[in-house]
Amino acid sequence: MTKIKSIRTRVWNWTGPTVPPQGNFCTNASDALWDKGDAMASFRFHQWLTCEVEAEDGTIGIGNAALAPTVVKKAIDDWYAPLVIGEDPFDYAYIWEKMYRRTHAWGRKGIGMTAISAIDIAIWDLMGKLVNKPVFKLLGGRTKEKIPVYYSKLYADSIPAMQKEAELAQKHGYQAYKSRFGYGPKDGMSGMRENLKRVEALREVLGYDVDLMLECYMGWNVDYTKRMLPKLEKFEPRWLEEPVIAEDVNGYAELNAMGIVPISGGEHEFGLIGCTDLLRKGAVSVLQYDTNRVGGITAAQKINAVAEAFQVPVIPHAGQMHNYHLTMANANCPISEYFPVFDVEVGNELFYYIFKGDAEAVDGYLQLDDDTPGLGIEITEEHIANFEVIE
Ligand SMILES: O=C(O)[C@H](O)[C@H](O)[C@@H](O)CO
Ligand SMILES: [Mg+2]
């Protein structure tokens, strides 16, 4: 039996060039505030956490987290690492419960569950490396020849700019695209028109033989969404994502029950019970947890089973290897989100500047290798000059 010897957390603070948010960019939860202030602060994910779990034999498993990295680092260093060091990584279910129950008073959502996720992902990468198998082979194996992906960008900008981006994306063979709305309740009827004009313009470029998903990032409310759904229906969106704040589960359920456009969400939900609650209430037609938030691979795989029982597809937020392996191993995970590799704007792009080995989409699909152990990523220092790394 091998034991976990140490856990090393690092915060990677991007100091390199960034692309400022263009146009109206994306609605978000801050839009409801009277003082608009810097709503784009919601989008400055310009930090990432790496979490390396080392076994006694020197094998290292790599986990990560993108939410509040400096705070999650402190939580791991001070609270979670002491619970995990000395344990056998193959006792991952016990370790998970230990982390969850020992910090339950404050850790079952948000920062705590994000910390648990980072450690759990590292443990699964470590287990894969120790048995020389890819993580998806430990979860259920290959359920797809390759993974279909959707192009996820198209933030709100001028119509010509968005149409140009869509035309460029089309050249890469994607069969599905996600766009962001830039207008919400504070922009009134004229904002609705701006939203609708951009969806229509994207359909003009993309046609109707590909999927188009629409993202609100918690920037609308139930009233506004109820008014928008009938206007959006003719554009045949595959889903409308996070129309309201994550805690308004009843609002989700009311909108989803209208049956006009499937409502998706879950990237800001945490834990098996939290996601089961979304499913039990019919709040989402597509569940979108992120494995580096929801509780890691251990929790995500349990949620996948519950979602399958409800026959609700799971399409995790963000792509990236910690999600791709679950999509490959579950028939109820039909496609993956894919952030194309671009200059750093939102911060979702940072994954490519910290890790090498993340799967790249080709002609709208990505592939995982049957023989690469673990998650198949390593930390690279290729872009270290653009980071301040906090040990
Ligand atoms: O679904 C997504 O990709 C997330 O909501 C994005 O990461 C966020 O930046 C809004 O686009
Ligand atoms: Mg989203």
Q: Which ligand is nearest to the CA of 26?
A: 1
User: Which pLDDT belongs to residue 36?
Assistant: 58
Note the pLDDT tens digit of each residue in 103-130. 999 999 999 999 999 999 999 999 999 9
Instruction: Kindly give the distance from the C-alpha atom of residue 5 to the centroid of ligand 1, in angstroms, as a whole number.
Output: 35
Average per-residue pLDDT for the chain? 96
CA distance 292 to 64: 7
Does the pLDDT of residue 40 top 70, yes or no? no
CA distance 133 to 138: 7
Residue of the CA atom closest to atom 1 of ligand 1: 317
Residue of the CA atom closest to atom 3 of ligand 1: 318
For the chain, what percent of residues have pLDDT higher than 70? 97
Q: What are the residues whose beta carbon lies below 5 Å from ligand 2 (ion)?
A: 241
| CA pseudo-torsion sign 178, 183, 184, 190 | negative
Note the pLDDT tens digit of each residue in 348-384. 889 999 999 999 999 999 999 999 999 999 999 999 9
Instruction: Kindly give the distance from the C-alpha atom of residue 217 to the centroid of ligand 1, in angstroms, as a whole number.
Output: 7
Complex ipTM tops 0.95: yes
Note the pLDDT tens digit of each residue in 199-239. 999 999 999 999 999 999 999 999 999 999 999 999 999 99
CA distance 282 to 30: 26
User: Which pLDDT belongs to residue 347?
Assistant: 85
User: Which pLDDT belongs to residue 33?
Assistant: 85
Determine if ligand 1 sits within 6 Å of the CB of residue 152: yes
CA distance 313 to 337: 13
Does the pLDDT of residue 68 top 80, yes or no? yes
Instruction: Kindly give the distance from the C-alpha atom of residue 358 to the centroid of ligand 1, in angstroms, as a whole number.
Output: 18
Q: Hey, what amino acid is at 264?
A: S
Where does 4-132 sit in CATH, by number?
A: 3.30.390.10
CA distance 288 to 50: 22
Q: Which ligand is nearest to the CA of 42?
A: 1
Which residue's structure tokens are 């856990």?
Answer: 7
Dihedral angle of Cα 109, 112, 118, 121, to the nearest 10 degrees: -60
Q: What band does 76 get if pLDDT is binned at 50, 70 and 90?
A: very high
Q: What band does 42 get if pLDDT is binned at 50, 70 and 90?
A: low
Determine if ligand 1 sits within 6 Å of the CB of residue 240: no
Note the pLDDT tens digit of each residue in 82-92. 999 999 999 99
Q: Decide if 329 contacts 144 (C-beta within 8 A).
A: no
Domain 138-380, CATH number (from 3.40.50.720, 3.20.20.120, 1.10.3720.10, 2.40.50.140): 3.20.20.120
Determine if ligand 1 sits within 6 Å of the CB of residue 27: no
Spell out the domain ranges in the chain: 4-132, 138-380
Does the pLDDT of residue 32 top 90, yes or no? no
